[in-house]
Amino acid sequence: MRSFIAYTLLTLVAVLPRRTDATDVFFFDIEAISPSGRYQVTAKSPANEDRDRRIPFQSSFVYTFTDRQRDEVLWTRKQAMGEPYTWGDDSEHTHTQMLEGSPASIYVSDSGFTVIYTGWNELILVDRNGRKTGKVNILEDCLTDAENAEYVHATTAGPVWAGRSHWYFATADAKEYFIIRPWWGRHLIVELLTGSVKMPTSSLVDAAQKAETEYVLRVLDSVLDGTATECDCCGHFHELDLAAYLAGVLGIKEAVPGLRKVEDSNYIGMSAIGGSLEEMPEGRISPFRYSAYTTRQNVHLALRRLGEKPGPFPCTIFRTEHNQYRRRQPYERNPVPGSRESNAEKVKKEMSPEQVIDLIDTPDYVLHGQWQYDIDAQKAYTLKISWTDEKTVKDVSMVRPPLWQEGTVRDQQ
């Protein structure tokens, strides 16, 4: 079971002049419990004791591994730290260098293995007795140079690559492994007992596919039986989003009933403010400022890949601009007669965002300010709409095959 607790907070120079070169990263106290519920690992930092004064880049974490069935602590472990040092002549600014990254997430297996994923893209492996069996740097030891160049994106908060990835334990040939399936599909496999990186074998691939299918159906079944809940998992996709996405990637037809059940989810997983920042006229919308219903996006992508047509649920929301006395409100669409498929061909240059939404609703995706619609016509295609600085349609184009069929374009987005 994983528990992501690494938060990032974009900082403005005017607000925090002490840090102008990086994004603050926060590592809060976390816990993880094995699937059976028997084992629990907690990670706590003294830097988190004062909840009213959050300081980024927390360190000096202490890990505690507990057998909950016997109510017994089996081991404790301290994050590896160097010697304290002082900046200049100011004795108040004493710091301790980290020798390993702070925990971003923790995974615990039913056999008692713990995998700590750190903010340095490390996997630290610890067995049931507290013995460290290995440390793996994912970017250096697991990914190829080509994958690092194509899939790992440098940001002020560090390398970004793990979106839509699935992290889990699996057993093959009487050995236990930790597996990461990134969105581009290759399995990154680490043997827990030795800490060695393994190449996929037929038995490992079979075990991975079995574990992934079981995960998807388990999560979606929890939706069908009413036990699932929606929550934000600290910047990573909610389990429901991930399960929906994987259902389409893996071609799991049995997932369709569960996907239909959550197709109208109102969960908003991201928002963006783009384009110029000058004021818009009262009651108008900017094509560059929106929020996305991420669960719907993943469900619609999966349904299309499973040969199904999504229902009429918009995947994005735009809000009207306001003056200082009014809050921004969702734009109320005035539907134009006709279907989305038939009206898509009526989108023309110089139309306003409101006119486009009235015709074919809000876009399925927004990428660099460009609106994208996956149109389920007899010959499916993706409609792309770009915008001028004056917030009118600049260009309209049709892309065939649609982007949801085009390799991993949608996956990478």
Going residue by residue through the chain (413 aa), what tens digit of pLDDT does each one get?
A: 544 434 333 322 222 333 345 688 899 999 999 999 999 999 999 999 987 787 889 999 999 999 999 999 999 999 999 888 776 665 566 778 889 999 999 999 999 999 999 999 999 999 999 999 999 999 999 999 999 999 999 988 889 999 889 999 999 999 999 999 999 999 999 999 999 999 999 999 999 999 999 999 999 998 777 665 544 443 334 789 999 999 999 999 999 999 999 999 998 888 887 665 556 667 789 999 999 999 999 999 999 999 999 999 999 999 987 655 556 788 899 999 999 999 999 999 999 999 999 999 999 999 988 999 999 999 999 999 999 988 999 999 999 999 999 888 888 87
What pLDDT, on the 0 to 100 scale, is given for residue 272? Answer: 83
125 and 190 Cβ atoms separated by less than 8 Å: yes
Number of H helices, E strands in the chain: 8, 25
Distance CA 39, CA 22 (A): 36
Distance CA 280, CA 387 (A): 15
Distance CA 166, CA 182 (A): 7
Give domain limits for the chain: 6-200, 265-412
75 and 129 Cβ atoms separated by less than 8 Å: yes
What pLDDT, on the 0 to 100 scale, is given for residue 54? Answer: 79
Distance CA 150, CA 358 (A): 38
What pLDDT, on the 0 to 100 scale, is given for residue 84? Answer: 80
What pLDDT, on the 0 to 100 scale, is given for residue 352? Answer: 96
What pLDDT, on the 0 to 100 scale, is given for residue 90? Answer: 58
| Main-chain dihedrals φ then ψ at residue 187, nearest 5 degrees | -85, 130
CA-derived radius of gyration, the chain: 24
Distance CA 188, CA 48 (A): 32
List Cβ<8 Å contacts ≥24 apart for 171-174.
171/207, 172/201, 172/203, 172/204, 172/206, 172/207, 173/203
**Residue for token pair 């460290």:** 132
240 and 223 Cβ atoms separated by less than 8 Å: yes
**53 DSSP assignment:** S
Distance CA 216, CA 220 (A): 6
Q: How many CB atoms lie within 10 A of CB 235?
A: 15
Q: How many CB atoms lie within 10 A of CB 379?
A: 9
Distance CA 129, CA 67 (A): 11
What pLDDT, on the 0 to 100 scale, is given for residue 113? Answer: 98
What pLDDT, on the 0 to 100 scale, is given for residue 189? Answer: 98
